[in-house]
């Protein structure tokens, strides 16, 4: 149906509470506008043939009362007429929920099937997410390595405490006052969502800092958009593995990224970065899985993460096998939220016995809702 201008006017809805919505208008934009009397025809409408069924949703609600059955609406034009191949002619036709569902299926069934098949082809959640890795490093460090500086930082996809999106500010934090040798990041978007302008944040940060990189998605979207953990390194990343954590007790898919870094004059270093969830049982289970994995590794290990916990079983389990880098320093500052120095210390760095912590700091930065944590290590 080709119409110049118009909207749908709801002539009547039968609701559980006996109320009705007579006089309400449903514009093309989907915004409800109330009119006490008269017709509504303020929005341009084109190709309205199937739009009535689409716009009259099954969950339509007014005043907290859910619709029990549905009434078709009239398409009201300036001349108070409605045309759609003899279907309406200004008459009200009431449909039950079952009839509306059936009519929607008849109209949209093929589209739904095509979208389902497309989703099955493009999204394979049971096969895990691939590691994205590469390098923007143009020259290797030539100074002999006597110690390494590492950082863990939940960047909140580049959004600061004031709500502004500024990945440039994130990059400045990563390199101030000194660019770490290895950086573990959480909540990094790679073409993931409009919230981060569908940007490849991994590539932007790695290129801007001139570092090697590896990325382990925890979540993915159909168009190869990802959300997850990353590691940036001054030294070559020779191996990288993304490991998905089990979905038991989970509210959101979780993963941990393991890389092997070739540190000059020292050898191979295992670095793991993760971001655990908000459920205590989930965190304990995931720490158990991470420990089962890391205990099989040879060589020194550094664990970087947003653990989302302070004093609970998951933290006790970690500290039975690894040392908290902050444990020998009187700098037990909070890391979340970044606006408070007395917040929770949930962002932590752990290390194996082959490493000795020389320094530990929480940086007072607010480019994210978390504060970055840095530690310097030497190899025993």
Q: What is the pLDDT of residues 186-207, one digit of tens each?
A: 999 998 888 898 899 999 999 9
CATH fold for the domain made of 126-379: Deoxyribonuclease I; Chain A (3.60.10)
DSSP designation for 176 = S
Residue 3 is inside which H or E element, if any?
none
Residue 59 is inside which H or E element, if any?
none
pLDDT reported for residue 314: 97
pLDDT in tens, 71-117: 333 333 344 443 333 232 333 444 555 666 777 777 777 777 877 77
Residues of the chain with pLDDT under 70: 1-100, 118-129, 222-224
Q: Which residues contact 305 (CB under 8 A, 6 or more apart)?
A: 152, 184, 186, 256, 272, 273, 274, 275, 276, 347, 348
Confirm if 165 and 158 have CB atoms less than 8 A apart. Answer: yes
pLDDT reported for residue 249: 81
How many helical (H) and strand (E) elements, i.e. helices and strands, does the chain have?
A: 6, 21
pLDDT reported for residue 128: 57
What is the Cβ-side half-sphere exposure of residue 311, based on CA atoms within 13 angstroms?
0
Across the strands, what pairs with 377? 148, 357
d(CA 65, CA 18): 9
Q: Which residues contact 22 (CB under 8 A, 6 or more apart)?
A: 10, 11, 12, 13
pLDDT reported for residue 270: 98
pLDDT reported for residue 121: 54
d(CA 357, CA 325): 6
Q: Which residues contact 98 (CB under 8 A, 6 or more apart)?
A: none
Whether the pTM exceeds 0.75: the reply is no
The residue extents of the domains of the chain are 7-122, 126-379
């Amino acid at each position: 149906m080709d119409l110049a201008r118009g909207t749908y006017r709801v002539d009547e809805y039968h609701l559980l509470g006996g109320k009705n919505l007579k006089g309400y208008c449903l514009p093309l934009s989907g915004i409800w506008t109330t009119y006490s009397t008269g017709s509504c025809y303020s929005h341009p409408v084109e190709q309205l043939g199937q739009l009535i069924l689409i716009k009259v949703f099954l969950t339509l609600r007014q005043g907290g009362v859910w619709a029990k059955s549905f009434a078709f609406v009239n398409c009201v034009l300036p001349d108070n007429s409605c045309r759609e191949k003899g279907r309406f002619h200004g008459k009200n036709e009431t449909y039950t929920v079952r009839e509306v569902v059936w009519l929607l299926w008849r109209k949209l069934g093929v589209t739904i099937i095509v979208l389902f098949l497309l989703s099955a082809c493009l999204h394979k959640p049971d096969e895990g997410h691939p590691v994205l890795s590469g390098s923007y490093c143009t020259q290797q460090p030539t100074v002999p390595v006597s110690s390494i500086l590492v950082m863990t930082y939940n960047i909140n996809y580049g959004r600061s405490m004031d709500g502004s999106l500024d990945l440039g500010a994130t990059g400045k934090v990563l390199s101030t006052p000194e660019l770490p040798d290895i950086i573990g990041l959480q909540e990094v978007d790679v073409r993931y969502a409009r919230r981060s302008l569908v940007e490849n944040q991994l590539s932007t940060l790695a290129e801007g800092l001139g570092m090697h990189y590896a990325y382990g998605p925890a979540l993915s979207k159909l168009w190869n958009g990802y959300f997850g953990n990353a590691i940036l390194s001054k030294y070559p990343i020779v191996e990288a593995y993304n490991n998905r954590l089990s979905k038991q007790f989970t509210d959101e898919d979780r993963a941990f990224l393991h890389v092997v870094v070739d540190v000059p004059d020292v050898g191979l270093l295992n670095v793991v970065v993760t971001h655990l969830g908000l459920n205590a049982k989930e965190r304990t289970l995931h720490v158990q899985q991470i420990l089962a994995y890391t205990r099989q590794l040879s060589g020194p290990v550094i664990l970087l993460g947003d653990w989302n916990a302070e004093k609970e079983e998951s933290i006790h389990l970690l500290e039975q096998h690894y040392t908290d880098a902050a444990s020998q320093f009187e700098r037990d500052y909070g890391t979340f939220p970044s606006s408070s120095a007395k917040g929770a210390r949930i962002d932590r760095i752990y290390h194996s016995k082959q490493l000795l912590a020389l320094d530990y700091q929480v940086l007072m930065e607010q480019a994210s809702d978390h504060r970055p944590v840095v530690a310097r290590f030497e190899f025993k």
